[in-house]
Amino acid sequence: MAITNPPPLLHFLLISLLISLSHSSSDPLSELKSLRSTSDSSTIHLSDSLFRRILSHHPRTFSLLVFFDATQLHNKPELQLQSLKSEFKLVSKSFFENNQNNPDALSKLFFGVIEFGESQSTFAQFGVNSLPHIRLVGPTDKDMKSEPVKMDAGDYSRLADSMAEFVESRTNVVVGDIVRPPIVSRKQMGVIVLGVLIMLPFLIKRVIVGDTMLHDWKVWLAGAVFVYFFSVSGAMFNIIRKMPMVIPDRNDPNKLVFFYQGSGMQLGAEGFTIGFLYTIVGLLLALMTHVLVRVRSVNAQRLVMIVALFVSFLAVNRVVLLDNWKTGYGIHGYWPSSWN
Amino acid sequence: MEDSSLRYAFGNVLCFFILLLIGLLAFSIRLFSVIKYESVIHEFDPYFNYRVTQFLTKNGIYDFWNWFDDRTWYPLGRVIGGTVYPGLTLTAGTLWWILNSLNIPLSVETVCVFTAPIFSAFAAWATYYLTKEVKGTGAGLAAAALLAMVPSYISRSVAGSYDNEAVAIFALIFTFYLYVKTLNTGSLFYATLNAIAYFYMVCSWGGYTFIINLIPMHALLCIVTGRYSSQLYIAYCPLVVLGTLLAALVPVVGFNAVLTSEHFASFLVFIIIHVVALAYYIKGILSPKMFKVAVTLVVSVGLVVCCAVVAVLVALVASSPTKGWSGRSLSLLDPTYASKYIPIIASVSEHQPPTWPSYFMDINVLAFLVPAGIVACFLPLSDASSFVILYIVTSVYFSGVMVRLMLVLAPAACIMSGIALSEAFTVFTRSIKFQFPGISQSHQIDAGDTSSEPSGDVIQNVVKTDKIDEPVKEWPSRRNKKKEKENVEKTSKPSIKSKIEKRLMVLPLETSIISLCLLVLLGAFYVIHCVWAAAEAYSAPSIVLTSHTPGGLHVFDDFREAYAWLSHNTDVDDKVASWWDYGYQTTAMANRTVIVDNNTWNNTHIATVGTAMSSPEKAAWEIFNSLDVKYVLVVFGGLVGYPSDDINKFLWMVRIGGGVFPHIKEPDYLRDGQYRIDSEATPTMLNCLMYKLSYYRFVETDGGKGFDRVRRTEIGKKYFKLTHFEEVFTTHHWMVRIYKLKSPRNRIRSKTKKSKSKSSSSTNLKRSGTRKKNPWH
């Protein structure tokens, strides 16, 4: 009796064992799909075992783009792991959302993240020894060390957009436009609008009375000088080209390069330094001609002037030298040849 | 009294001669290109302008207006009269006509070559007048002298660079001068002149949108900061009404003057200024209490109307694809726009953002002086000085986005630096003058001795120097009258004022002398830099190249050699294909029809040529043949090390081609993200037409090595034959190579058979596929 009627618990165990067995032998596609649908960013958190199951199938019907992540390296800013990971997730999410109506495409490509601490054997299997590292495992790839295509630094230089281009050029799927989350969420927007609406009557009143920051010429002066500083420092170049503030020295990794030789490019810190030098000289001159003349003490005048002149001279000298060094131009006067 | 009028007269005469010398300086510093090379038109665009001017002088203005040019953009052609800014050509044409009617038989080319230097002198004088309106004669002269030799402006206006900017910068400054003059005087006469100057600017350059946005911004700024006056109204409203009407007369602008967003700001401010004017008027006729009631009434009604208008405007603007803004303007507001969406704008080097050395190269020490000028303009702030502040701030921002706009920044930087220099010189020389041991009163002032008699002589001198610095006006404005009153008050109450005056005016003697010396040194450095820049950096015509070798000067005149070959050895109606950079030169110098040229109005057409250049020989032949092309011209610098050749521009051809025809993919031409042409290059790269036409027979030049001097590497594929093209001409230094398309029966037989079978299969594919490969099939 007891034997012919096994208890329901055992029954359940048997069934689940069967299911898991069949799972491991069948195509992992449905599992990946379900994992993806539960994930927030529609990326799949891969583990060693899951990976082994995926690879046991050959050929597969899908490609897998794998981001190799290491939590212990998140605090190293030069690797930019976290920002790359979020961009990676953005591509994944955009792909998922743009292809909602196209289940065919959706089952062609999956995005996975694998973490070093948890899944060291996979890292070894791929032969990954430096990060950031992104690989595209194609449907027919067998040897994980050599076959999967590695995403070059150039392919994630422009972040999500270039990643998407890489994916589109290697697989036959369309990622579509990258959907970036808005900088302010809808709720924040509402709060801001409400705040502005409340402030508006007070602002209008102050404008009519003529007592706002806008009526203070010092604000305008500061603004004008700041815009000048911002522009001559080439900050716009840094923004458009996404230049870093400093880069590590190639010859000596412990050192940082602040100034880049070659006129076509500049680093962030370099630009701001020179912008500051450009601006400070003019401001000191203005200080001398407009403020210092009103000072009563002659000695104070003298002292400030000497300091100002010294600083200005150094600044101009510095910029001229740096410019000659950076551009390599030999600016010279056309003196009579007998002078030489 | 007589003494002072004599001083005035002397000052005016001196000023006149200084201005004359400044004009001479501005003209002559731009002649290096003629002296070092020859009197020749430079670069690319000027050749087109030159050709248009020739047409104008030959056929007259009406034919010019209706000119349809079938020598370019084959087979589309181009309406020249309606698509060019005619200001430059009309100016040069008029100059030529005047000279000829005076029996001075100069050629059109000579007139074109020297138009830019002449207008630089005009621009320097306009700068003088503008700065004089802002801060007086001294600042004006300093600014004019600085502008006469500012490298940024020299780069666009050396003799031979016959481009729109040559006259446009003068027009820009002159328009600003007339605006400021109207602001200061409130005269309708100047307001009308201002509109006409604006019209000339619209005729000359697309940069006129800068004016029509800057002046409304200034008007709005004045209103917001409570500086509204009837002068502002007179300066602004006639300009908008007359200026817009006149601008609409220029065919290339036409209804854009009222339809595109670039102009909307002016209309918006036009409405606002009328509302404000009405408010001021009503305030004048109503009692304060009634006025308050009226304000609440009007504000509530006005808000509703405003919202409605804004909603309509937003809907209108949003309905157009680029939000009503042209790509170039958009890339100013959102600096990353162009690099993302418009490769043809991003590909031009002058549309790149500048780095800090660009500023040092182009405005040199002015970069140091500008902040001082900004501060000086705030002390005290007037309508005129607020205008130049706005001008420098906006232009410096825009120059940060696009290196080309450094040209607009240069006049502003000169004005600001002129003001700064003049103020500094005034203070330092005054300090020296009144404290120099030779002058008796100096010690008393230096010690701040209050017990002694107020030295009236000193004060009078001070006042006088101030007066000389002040602008001489026929119609003094209210503000100037006020100033004069103050001056009168100053002299009438010497006892209190004089003490303040004395303390206000001076700095310690020895430091003043040092500062003066340093300033002079700075100025001298500026002059050296400008002369160097004019002589070395900006005078190369780029159609003739030179290089200094130990053996002496070497001249590369390959371009003209090639164009001359084309014009002598090909049929008049033959079509020549090349990358768009050389379109203008080919039409102007060889007089042959081209497929694309530097007027990049049709992206698809350019992409077709780009695709052909990036395709394998057979596909390229088909594209070119479908366009009736007979000759293909490529520029190759590998032999002599000329870096701006077609191989270096090639990635842009791929990008632009791939933007329209997706089967051209940039990664196919790159090995691991790197552009290379050596043995590591991709097969697509080594088989594309550009590679083959550039390096055909190249290996014969250096005995089997095939070393490219620009890329500094040995080329990847050295020995190959051309199947669909044949070399017909290669210039002396191999810089220009011309190939002829083989006629179908002339192509190598075995290859043809193979490719025929291939092509049949590919056409089948083409039919089934949706990708378009060539729009002309």
- Residues B388-408 have a mean pLDDT of 91
Q: Which pLDDT band holds residue B90 (cuts at 50, 70, 90)?
A: very high
Contacts of A270 (CB under 8 A, 6+ apart): A258, A259, A260, B356
User: In terms of pTM, does the model score above 0.90?
Assistant: no
Upstream peptide bond of B380 is cis (omega within 30 degrees of 0): yes
Tell me, what's the pLDDT at A182? 66
| Strand A109-115 relative to strand A63-69, pairing | parallel
Tell me, what's the pLDDT at A1? 43
Distance from CA of B223 to the nearest CA of A (A): 11
Tell me, what's the pLDDT at B332? 60
Tell me, what's the pLDDT at A5? 55
Q: What percent of chain A has pLDDT over 70?
A: 85
Check pLDDT > 60 for residue B475: no
Contact A210 B358 (CB under 8 A): no
Tell me, what's the pLDDT at A11? 61
Q: Which pLDDT band holds residue B492 (cuts at 50, 70, 90)?
A: very low
Q: Which pLDDT band holds residue B306 (cuts at 50, 70, 90)?
A: confident
pLDDT digits (tens, 9 = 90+) for B705-741: 888 888 888 888 888 889 899 999 999 999 999 999 9
Distance from CA of B54 to the nearest CA of A (A): 38
Partners of B533 on chain A (C-beta within 8 Å) are: 331
The better pLDDT of the pair B207, B504 is held by B207
Contact B336 A302 (CB under 8 A): no
Contact B361 A294 (CB under 8 A): no
Partners of B341 on chain A (C-beta within 8 Å) are: none
Check pLDDT > 90 for residue A284: yes
H-helix or E-strand spanning residue B645: none
Q: Which of residues 62-91 of A touch B (CB under 8 A)?
A: none
pLDDT digits (tens, 9 = 90+) for A298-319: 889 899 999 999 999 999 999 9
Check pLDDT > 60 for residue A93: yes
Q: Chain centroid to CA B163: how far?
A: 9
- Residues B612-628 have a mean pLDDT of 92
Tell me, what's the pLDDT at B624? 93
Rounded to whole angstroms, the Cα distance separating B441 from A185 reads 71
Q: What is the DSSP string of B377-407?
A: HHTT--HHHHHHHHHHHHHHHHHHH-GGGHH
- Residues A221-243 have a mean pLDDT of 88
Residue among B638, B639, B698, B690 nearest B664 (CA) = B690
Tell me, what's the pLDDT at B81? 84
The number of beta carbons lying within 10 Å of the beta carbon of residue A86 is: 12
Residue among A82, A45, A79 nearest A64 (CA) = A45
- Residues B473-487 have a mean pLDDT of 42
Check pLDDT > 70 for residue B479: no
Rounded to whole angstroms, the Cα distance separating B226 from A68 reads 60
> Any CB–CB contact under 8 A between A293 and chain B?
yes
Q: Which of residues 125-154 of A touch B (CB under 8 A)?
A: 152-154
Check pLDDT > 50 for residue B460: no
Residue among B350, B389, B353, B347 nearest B371 (CA) = B389
For A272, the closest chain B residue by CA position comes to B356
Averaged pLDDT of chain B:
83
> Any CB–CB contact under 8 A between A298 and chain B?
yes
Rounded to whole angstroms, the Cα distance separating B233 from A87 reads 52
Contact A289 B372 (CB under 8 A): yes
Q: Residue B416 corresponds to which tokens in the numbers above?
A: 């600001």
* CA B718 vs CA B131, B633, B704: distances in Å: 62, 20, 8
Amino acid at A73: L
Instruction: Say which range, B226-240, B368-382, B454-468, B523-537, has the weakest mean pLDDT.
Output: B454-468
Check pLDDT > 80 for residue B456: no
Q: Which pLDDT band holds residue B449 (cuts at 50, 70, 90)?
A: very low
The better pLDDT of the pair B236, A189 is held by B236
Q: Residue B260 corresponds to which tokens in the numbers above?
A: 């595109």
B243 class by beta-carbon count within 10 Å (0-12 exposed, 13-18 middle, 19+ buried) = buried
Distance from CA of B104 to the nearest CA of A (A): 35
Check pLDDT > 70 for residue B694: yes
Q: Which of residues 219-238 of A touch B (CB under 8 A)?
A: 220-221, 223-225, 227-228, 230-237
Highest mean pLDDT among A46-55, A162-171, B155-164, B540-549: B155-164
Rama region for B574: left / alpha / beta (φ>0; ψ in -120 to 50; rest): beta
- Residues A49-63 have a mean pLDDT of 78
Q: Is the torsion defined by CA of A190, A192, A198, A203 positive or negative?
A: negative
The better pLDDT of the pair A309, B327 is held by A309
Tell me, what's the pLDDT at B753? 47
Tell me, what's the pLDDT at B247? 94
To test the contact with chain A by mutation, choose from B28, B222, B306, B368 the residue with the greatest count of A C-beta atoms within 10 A, namely: B368
Tell me, what's the pLDDT at B487? 47
Q: Which pLDDT band holds residue B219 (cuts at 50, 70, 90)?
A: very high
H-helix or E-strand spanning residue B774: none
For residue A224, give the nearest of B361, B374, B508 by CB distance: B374
Contacts of A181 (CB under 8 A, 6+ apart): none
H-helix or E-strand spanning residue B289: helix B288-319
Instruction: Say which range, A269-283, A306-320, A322-336, B420-434, has the weakest mean pLDDT.
Output: A322-336
Judge contact between B179 and B235, C-beta under 8 A: yes
Q: Measured over all CA atoms, what is the biggest interatomic distance in chain B, rounded to whole angstroms?
A: 111
Which residues is B739 bridged to in the sheet? Answer: B632, B727
Partners of B367 on chain A (C-beta within 8 Å) are: 232, 278
- Residues B316-334 have a mean pLDDT of 61
pLDDT digits (tens, 9 = 90+) for A109-154: 888 888 887 877 778 777 777 777 888 887 777 777 777 777 776 6
Tell me, what's the pLDDT at B765? 40
Judge contact between B286 and B117, C-beta under 8 A: no
pLDDT digits (tens, 9 = 90+) for B422-447: 999 999 999 888 887 765 454 444 43
For B424, the closest chain A residue by CA position comes to A289
Partners of B378 on chain A (C-beta within 8 Å) are: 217, 220-221
Partners of A271 on chain B (C-beta within 8 Å) are: 355-356
Tallying the residues shown for chain B, one arrives at 777
CA atoms within 13 Å, Cβ hemisphere of B331: 24
Q: Which pLDDT band holds residue B764 (cuts at 50, 70, 90)?
A: very low
| Strand B545-549 relative to strand A133-137, pairing | unpaired
Rounded to whole angstroms, the Cα distance separating B51 from B587 reads 8
Tell me, what's the pLDDT at B340? 58
Instruction: Say which range, B147-161, B534-548, B557-571, B631-645, has the weakest mean pLDDT.
Output: B534-548
Residue among A223, A127, A240 nearest B221 (CA) = A223
| 3-class SS of residue B454 | coil
Distance from CA of B718 to the nearest CA of A (A): 29
Q: What percent of chain B has pLDDT over 90?
A: 50
Q: 3-state SS string over A55-101? A: HHCCCCCCEEEEEEECHHHCCCHHHCHHHHHHHHHHHHHHHHHHCCC
pLDDT digits (tens, 9 = 90+) for B540-585: 888 888 888 888 888 889 999 999 999 999 999 999 999 988 999 9
- Residues B40-53 have a mean pLDDT of 91
Check pLDDT > 80 for residue A172: no
Beta-strand ranges (E) seen in B50-167 are: 68-69, 78-79
CA atoms within 13 Å, Cβ hemisphere of B24: 6
Q: Which parts of chain A fold into alpha helices (H)? A: 8-25, 29-38, 48-56, 81-98, 103-106, 120-126, 159-170, 186-209, 217-232, 235-241, 268-286, 298-327
The number of beta carbons lying within 10 Å of the beta carbon of residue A176 is: 15
Judge contact between B595 and B575, C-beta under 8 A: yes
Averaged pLDDT of chain A:
79
Instruction: Say which range, A91-100, A281-290, B113-122, B742-751, has the weakest mean pLDDT.
Output: B742-751
- Residues B452-481 have a mean pLDDT of 39
Tell me, what's the pLDDT at B403? 86
Highest mean pLDDT among A125-129, A328-332, B406-410, B756-760: B406-410
Q: What percent of chain A has pLDDT over 90?
A: 14
For A325, the closest chain B residue by CA position comes to B357
The better pLDDT of the pair A167, B620 is held by B620
What ipTM describes this predicted complex? 0.79
Instruction: Say which range, A208-212, B297-301, B563-567, has the weakest mean pLDDT.
Output: A208-212
The better pLDDT of the pair B256, B346 is held by B256
Q: Measured over all CA atoms, what is the biggest interatomic distance in chain A, rounded to whole angstroms?
A: 123
Amino acid at A231: S
